[in-house]
Structure 1
Amino acid sequence: MKVLVVTQYFWPENFRINDVAEGLVAAGHDVTICTGIPNYPKGEFFAGYGWFTNLRQEKNGYRIIRIPLLSRGSAGQIRLVVNYLSFAFFACILAPIKLRGDFDVVLCYQLSPVTVGLPAIVMKLFKKAPLLLWVQDLWPESLSATGAIKSRMALSIVAKLVRFIYSYCDLILVQSQAFLSPVEAMCVPSYKIVYMPNTAEAFYQPLVLRADAQEKKLMPEGFIVMFAGNIGAAQDFESIIDAACLLREETDIKFVVLGDGRALQRAEAKVEELGLDGKVVFLGRYPTEMMPAFLAAADVMLVALRNDPAFSYTIPSKVQSYLACARPIIAALGGEGARIVEESGAGFAVPPGVPAALAVAIKKVRDLPLAKREEMGSNGRKYFETNFSRERLIEKLTEQFIRAKRK
């Protein structure tokens, strides 16, 4: 099939849709990507990209058409809103001009913002092709949960926008089973909603590192609790740092943070303020392809989200990465993410926003025999292969393309 993928974020930005595009090409689909100029997460255009540079590319069998936008910057919420709206505005105008020819389906990969659905609707109408919206973030719930919008009136307006976008979709794919009810509550018939979980890139595999591996050399001495991924408002770094503070006397336990994001500077400042410089180590951002080796250097992986009902619906994508690499997991979150970690036998879940419970869980895992931690990791890998494999995801996506096309 000729598949048009509409997504504000794409390679060289690190998002799961990159790997999905490659999987669709490998399955025989003709894939075109409509996306923005890469600027996530630092808020600046990547080197070699701009309003008039690298707007058309080919990579790994698919075509990339880039739409101008205003970068995220680092100035705060207003600049972020402008970034969101600029992509939606320019894509609605330019995508029909830049994307010639017919498409069999339009697949919209909807992280934040939901406004990415607007140009997807435009392309659906211009190309007379069915639209599948793959919901990764629930709006307006995630806006309320992160504190990005507190006004009830503003949240009500966003909810109306979401209902409008959903009404034009032929199918709505959701990354978590817990999304089913909130999406249906937006006046979407249940038969239009399909559970479509995320996978992890093929390079996420269990590894055994050599003693002289560079990733091991970067680790501090001791029992390594590692967080890998975005450091934002949703990830509840306040609780993670408070747990590290409670474990101050457990001198062998060290926290290693890989990644960056809008809340990084605030997290670093709190670590310094509490005198936890040797306890919590920030290593910065590394290429995604290096993550399996870093994960192999850790003793247990950590995933956390703020204590808000909206976050109990979601499955953080790092959960699939951790499972795929056969690493034991501590999950400081509720709902679907916690269920998967415990159901898989890969680790333990504790209530979100409770540093004392997180500290207890970390000591519990540290005190387990190595063989038990390895068993937990093996359980996670088996669960991943059964429930989240890339091959099965591409098969399910193709099935839904066919279903939408027949309608």
Structure 2
Amino acid sequence: MNFLRSFNAVCMPFAKETKKCISISIFNQTACYSIKIQHRRPIKVYDANAESEIQNMEEDGTSKKPIKRFKDEILGVVELNKEKLWNRNKSKIESEMNVEGLRTDETDSDDEKGETILGSTFVRLGDSDTRFERMIFKVQSKKQRHKANIIMLEGKRLIQDAISAGVVPTEIYFSRKSMIENLVMPAGLIKLYKMPYNKMKKWSQLDTPPGVVAFCQMPKTMVAKQNFQLPLTVICDNVREPGNLGTILRTVAGVGCNSVILTKGCTDMWDPKVLRSAAGAHFHIPVESGLTWDEICKKLDKNTRIFIAEHKEEAEMSSETMIPIVPYFSVKYSNLQDICIIIGGETEGISDEAVNLARYLDGLKINIPLNNNIDSLNVGAAISTILFEIKRQFIINNDLNCNEGNDVKSVK
């Protein structure tokens, strides 16, 4: 008996508190439901007398027209509300499309023109179609790109450069016909797909995508025809930043160098960021990637003069490995038969193999004098400065074939 009294004394406060919480919860739910009911708009309001009159007429069987008329009125109100809701959502969607830069009048005009462009029939992709996503996944990483043997080109100009060089895309995705109307491409050989711009923007790495993407088979080493060609080869040593590598390739193609060699530590030349930064340089100059230094030594001519782009003004090496450092403008490049410039990445710098190669072939280090306590330049800026100085000397001497070559040791 004492145990029951003790149990009741302990448990009763908890039971009352639990009952109180449940009551408060039920009250809150009821109040919330009541508030929602107050804000709902009725479909139709009618009085009780009209309802009783309709019920009496239905029981007597005299007429069913009032009931049918009443139901038709309700259905008419519902359809009217649906139409208003659709118009409101449609105007909202159109305004969002205008903000994204895709005008609705251009989309409608595309629908009216038909399903054929440039002699090829294109397919419209819906929101549930995953063809574009599957292609994007194949080029996300270097391993996936080389396994699928596919590269991605984004932008009309880059796609046209590839087609002009003989690299024909297998598939092209676009948001508007105007994006590909001016492309010069073979008819019937490329699969064309039209897709929403918002979906393309979702998967693009750019803030403002151009609205056209092409996928091509990964080409082999390009053999481009150049009207202006310098006896100059550029070796990129451990350049791991995609933007820097793309800038180097673009500069090399603009100067008119002979070729570019990428060592094994460089980033993938077919990375989408490298392709965008290079602006089509891949298709205008031969590029060899993933070479070891043993393979590079076999490719260089015995008369090749090695120059290492160095940002330091004084050598910090022992006498056994010391290589002279001179300003880049003090070398008479136009007197040389074959030139090789080695430039390293901003993070890793020049490798020991590159230094040993330059020392073995009696090479030099060249630097760009700087002021105001600036110790180095960006890789792209440094290679541009050096290469255009070499081109300037060849233009002045009017000796692009380099028939007469002197020893580089004559440089003071």
The TM-score bracket by the shorter chain reads under 0.3
TM-score (norm 2): 0.27
* Bigger-Rg structure (1/2): 2
TM-score (norm 1): 0.27
